[in-house]
Amino acid sequence: MAEMTPEQQKAMAIAAARLRLSRTQQTQQPSAVDPVAEPPPQTGEELRARIYADLDAKRDRQPVLDRNGLPADDALSVARTGVGGLLEGIPIIGPPIRYGTEKAAAATVAAFTDETYDQVMDRLNEATRAEKEANPIIDKGAQITGAVAGTIPAIMAAPAAFGAGGGSLLLRSGISAGTGAAIGGADAGVRSGGDVDEMWHGAKWGGLFGLGGPMVGKVIGAGARSLADALRARTAAKVAGMDPQAFGYFRRAVTDDGLDASALPRRLTEMGPEAIPADLGPNLQKQAGALAATPGEAQATIRNALTDRQAGANARIGQTIDETMGPNVVPSEVRAGIEANQDMFSPHYREVFRGARPYDMSPIAEAMEADISRLRGPAQARLRQVRDMLNVANSNVLSTDPGVMFQTRQAIDGLLKTEIDPKAIATLMEARQMLDDGLTRAVPRIKELDAGFSELARQDEALTRGQQVLDSGRTAPRPSELAAEVEQGVQPQGMQIGPSAVPLRLSQGARAEIDRIVGTNSNDIAAMNKLIKGEGDWNRARLSTLFGPEKADRLFKVLENERIYADTANTVTRNSETAARIAAQNELGGGAGNFGVKEAFKAGGFLGAARSAAIDKADDIVKALISSNTGNVTRESLARALIGEQREKLVEGLVRAQGMGTTPALVDPVVKALLLNAGTARTR
């Protein structure tokens, strides 16, 4: 008989597989067309004749197509080949799974038919072989797919075992080679029934392909990362409403400044409604400086935004101070009001002394004379001065007029305001107390007036004290001392009714001092910050005592924000000058590429140069922005982003771009799986 063509061989194999697989149904169940089932072929000649008869019949009838346009029988064969290949391709455990399934099926068929288990297995094996021969490409592709899919979970579960962990490339390649050899040898052993030669070949090829896994994975991963980054960047720039190149510059600065895109809205909110992205880091500020140095719309956008913001700094600070600490007061005006109220007590004092009886002051005078004979120095001199005040004018006769005691007490109050000697102060206070006790007995109603007058005097002292709370010298109270003064000051003294106004005067004094600092440093936000906030936490604690923690925190936050705004303006201006200088040097051929590092080296040696290199990550972008190759559209787009236009879209774009610079998750496992199974496939 003439040799069959390849098409006839394929058709023969398909027909043989179909006949063997349907034999059981043909023996068990008569044909729906013929009441008597046709007996199965018994010899090779009968089988060949049957196959040719089927082929002739197929040529005479229209084939039934499936939904994919394939003959229904052929589509079923392709599906069986694909599913079987997927299972069989899984390394090591794939063959047991596939053939275990077929054995279970054979056992089931044998249990319900007259055939033996071996007969059913022979038919299934013959059918499998025939379908593989009929669909070789489908079979090979399915096995490769099954091998890769079966290896990926292992690589993701234990990446270090496949050379995806830490260490050098050489170390990871060695680990991957060992893993590949183990898998290749084990897989070959399973498929060959334990043949040593096959296991050796499997281990050899698996180790060889595993050795190149880390290097190939790195190369392919870099390509995949570049492609993915390009797609992400374009999409993110569109979402942000920016020119793609400008968005790339902006995103790089955000990354180099260590900023998290999702945290940008919170950071800007904390810095106040006037905050812009250029405030958030040195690299963003350098980009703004480069744009501010380059003539064009971008320059105007940056400079106008910063100039307008700086123009409103004092107004914003003043408004915050008014809202947190109340309207400003002028200490001299407050003091004049206190003194005017004290003067109103003079008629009342004269009234209570009218008709007062003489009072024997000899016990007081004798006590003073005894102390004078004992004391020395300023204390003795001051007490002798007070003792002489008790005499009748221009005589050595002790007066009995209660009014003399009152005037002497007033004089002691004046001496106490200027006295600095501690012993003298203590002596004067003791003398004043004796006179005060005498006046209480001589003129009982005087204590009512004293209470009102003393309250005003305490308020005057508190106003002065309040102006010292932000000092850093010895006269400034510690936070605990100020808290005690406020607590004690609010308590009424003597016969006073109701709380004292001492805490109010303390806060007014502090408020006046803050206004003085702001007024004298309106053009220097940094100096204003330093004077109001101080070096440590004492000023915050003091102002919290006087105005409340929330108001103090708000004031300090606004001051800090304004300091950042001023720093941004100064940095952008300084960078603008530097960028312009670099541009001019480049234009003249001066080559300013390493200017900043050279300057830093001269200023601080190697450490200075290292610091300069660490914070000058944006220098190459600065040079690009001031070059003529960067278009005005890119500069203007970047300028709008730096001053915070369309902030929500900008943040959304940055969030979309967060995955840039990372290799897609499945690239490395897929590459390693392909390489490992390329080695094991050579032994199948």
Whether the per-residue pLDDT at 585 is higher than 60: the answer is no
Q: Report the pLDDT value the prediction gives residue 659, as an integer from 0 to 100.
A: 56
Place of tokens 């390394």: 91
First to last CA, the chain: 34
Residue 623 falls within a domain, yes or no? yes
Whether the per-residue pLDDT at 321 is higher than 60: the answer is yes
- The residue among 105, 139, 173 that closes a domain is 139
Residues 32 and 129 placed together within one structural domain of the fold: yes
Residue 530 falls within a domain, yes or no? no
In the numeric block, which tokens belong to residue 7? 């098409």
Q: Is 42 helix (H, G, I), strand (E, B) or coil?
A: coil
Whether the per-residue pLDDT at 46 is higher than 60: the answer is no
How many independent structural domains does the chain possess?
4
Q: Which is higher by pLDDT, 399 or 53?
A: 399
Q: Which domain holds residue 354?
A: 331-491
Residues 351 and 439 placed together within one structural domain of the fold: yes
Query: Which of the residue ranges 185-194, 414-423, 639-648 would you say has the lowest mean pLDDT?
Result: 185-194
Residues 272 and 415 placed together within one structural domain of the fold: no
pTM over 0.85: no
Residue 205 falls within a domain, yes or no? yes
Length of the chain: 684
Whether the per-residue pLDDT at 422 is higher than 90: the answer is yes
Q: Report the pLDDT value the prediction gives residue 32, as an integer from 0 to 100.
A: 40
Q: Report the pLDDT value the prediction gives residue 170, as an integer from 0 to 100.
A: 72
Query: Which of the residue ranges 243-257, 404-418, 479-493, 615-629 would you say has the lowest mean pLDDT?
Result: 615-629
* Banded model confidence at residue 590, pLDDT cuts 50, 70, 90: very low
* Banded model confidence at residue 368, pLDDT cuts 50, 70, 90: very high
Q: Is 398 helix (H, G, I), strand (E, B) or coil?
A: strand
Whether the per-residue pLDDT at 89 is higher than 80: the answer is no
Mean pLDDT throughout 579-587? 49
CA 208 – CA 398 distance, rounded (Å): 121
Give CA 485 to chain center in angstroms.
42
Distances (CA, A) of 639 to 306, 442, 657: 12, 82, 19
Query: Which of the residue ranges 273-277, 433-437, 588-592 would you say has the lowest mean pLDDT?
Result: 588-592
Whether the per-residue pLDDT at 356 is higher than 80: the answer is yes
Q: What percent of the chain stands above pLDDT 90?
A: 25
Whether the per-residue pLDDT at 84 is higher than 90: the answer is no
CA 240 – CA 266 distance, rounded (Å): 18
Q: Report the pLDDT value the prediction gives residue 248, as an integer from 0 to 100.
A: 85
Residues 291 and 375 placed together within one structural domain of the fold: no
Residues 423 and 456 placed together within one structural domain of the fold: yes
Residues 276 and 417 placed together within one structural domain of the fold: no
Residues 587 and 654 placed together within one structural domain of the fold: no
* Banded model confidence at residue 498, pLDDT cuts 50, 70, 90: low
* Banded model confidence at residue 453, pLDDT cuts 50, 70, 90: confident
Query: Which of the residue ranges 89-103, 105-119, 280-294, 471-485 would you say has the lowest mean pLDDT?
Result: 89-103
Q: Which is higher by pLDDT, 684 or 173?
A: 173
Whether the per-residue pLDDT at 35 is higher than 50: the answer is no
H/E stretch holding 589: none
Q: Is 134 helix (H, G, I), strand (E, B) or coil?
A: helix
Mean pLDDT throughout 21-43? 46
Whether the per-residue pLDDT at 468 is higher than 50: the answer is yes
Q: Report the pLDDT value the prediction gives residue 510, as an integer from 0 to 100.
A: 93
Residues 368 and 285 placed together within one structural domain of the fold: no
Residues 87 and 101 placed together within one structural domain of the fold: yes
Neighbouring C-alpha atoms within 13 Å toward the C-beta of 169: 8
Q: Report the pLDDT value the prediction gives residue 534, as an integer from 0 to 100.
A: 81
Residue 86 falls within a domain, yes or no? yes
pLDDT in tens, 632-674: 888 899 999 899 888 788 888 887 776 555 545 445 555 555 5
Residue 502 falls within a domain, yes or no? no
Q: Report the pLDDT value the prediction gives residue 31, as an integer from 0 to 100.
A: 42
Among the listed residues 360, 363, 381, the one whose alpha carbon sits nearest the alpha carbon of residue 372: 381
Residue 526 falls within a domain, yes or no? no
Q: Report the pLDDT value the prediction gives residue 366, as an integer from 0 to 100.
A: 93
Mean pLDDT throughout 144-165? 66
Q: Report the pLDDT value the prediction gives residue 124, as an integer from 0 to 100.
A: 77
* Banded model confidence at residue 462, pLDDT cuts 50, 70, 90: very high
Highest-scoring range by mean pLDDT, 233-242, 382-391, 518-527, 597-606: 382-391
CB 476 within 8 A of CB 470: yes
What type of residue sits at position 574? R
Q: Report the pLDDT value the prediction gives residue 417, as an integer from 0 to 100.
A: 87
- The residue among 469, 491, 513 that closes a domain is 491
Query: Which of the residue ranges 68-72, 493-497, 520-524 would you say has the lowest mean pLDDT?
Result: 68-72
Q: Is 71 helix (H, G, I), strand (E, B) or coil?
A: strand
Q: Which is higher by pLDDT, 159 or 479?
A: 479
Residues 367 and 288 placed together within one structural domain of the fold: no
* Banded model confidence at residue 74, pLDDT cuts 50, 70, 90: low
Residues 371 and 460 placed together within one structural domain of the fold: yes
Angle (CA) 436-437-438 rounded to 5° is 90
CA 680 – CA 670 distance, rounded (Å): 15
- The residue among 468, 491, 514 that closes a domain is 491
Whether the per-residue pLDDT at 335 is higher than 50: the answer is yes
CA 131 – CA 81 distance, rounded (Å): 6
Residue 323 falls within a domain, yes or no? no
CA 344 – CA 437 distance, rounded (Å): 24
Computed over every residue of the chain, the mean pLDDT equals 75
What residues form DSSP beta bridges with 117?
A: none
Q: Report the pLDDT value the prediction gives residue 140, as an integer from 0 to 100.
A: 73
Residue 378 falls within a domain, yes or no? yes
Q: Report the pLDDT value the prediction gives residue 504, as an integer from 0 to 100.
A: 92
Q: Which is higher by pLDDT, 474 or 25?
A: 474
Mean pLDDT throughout 254-278? 87
Mean pLDDT throughout 184-209? 72
DSSP 157-191: H-GGGGT-SSS-HHHHHHHHHHHHHHHHHHHHHHH
Q: Report the pLDDT value the prediction gives residue 606, as an integer from 0 to 100.
A: 45
Query: Which of the residue ranges 46-55, 284-293, 333-342 would you say has the lowest mean pLDDT?
Result: 46-55
Q: Report the pLDDT value the prediction gives residue 245, as an integer from 0 to 100.
A: 86
Whether the per-residue pLDDT at 9 is higher than 60: the answer is no
Residues 349 and 480 placed together within one structural domain of the fold: yes
Q: Report the pLDDT value the prediction gives residue 681, as an integer from 0 to 100.
A: 54
The secondary structure of 433-464, three-state, reads HHHHHHHHHHCCCHHHHHHHHHHHHHHHHHHH
Among the listed residues 280, 285, 235, 242, the one whose alpha carbon sits nearest the alpha carbon of residue 261: 280
